[in-house]
Amino acid sequence: MLGWAKLLNLPEDLAERRERLAELRDELVATLQTETGATLVGHPDRRLPGYAMMGFPELSGADLVQGFADRDIAVSSGSACHSGDRSPSRVLMEMDIDTNLAFGAVRFSLGRDTTSEDVQYVKDQLGRVLEEARR
């Protein structure tokens, strides 16, 4: 009998990939929380392994997105269909997330090609990005 992975044409190392992504995500989240005071938006455990929505109170998500983009780091502050919109995410507002936190929310997405060096680069650039966003 074929397993679900075979039937759905999933890679056999899917569990390993998920675990690796979750570890990288958790490393990034821990750094963002301890070094910047950012807040994890959403459930701490029940979430995708390569996804972290972080809220930076008193900062603009759009300014943060630009600061990361200037360093070739792709993050998002909302859905693709609202690109360029500087208002808080409608979804976050519907989740009853504090407006100040939602306004400064940024989504970090990691993928199968994300490495620990990529996460380290984001961590290395944080100070500069936050400093620019505060101006």
The pair of structure tokens assigned to 110 is: 């990691």
Q: Is 90 a catalytic residue?
A: no
Cα 65 from chain centroid (whole Å): 11
Rounded Cα distance between 101 and 55, Å, is 5
Looking at residue 45, what DSSP letter applies?
A: S
Q: Among residues 72, 81, 113, 135, which one is catalytic?
A: 81
Asked if 77 contacts 61 with a C-beta cutoff of 8 angstroms, the reply is: yes
Q: What are the catalytic residues?
A: 81
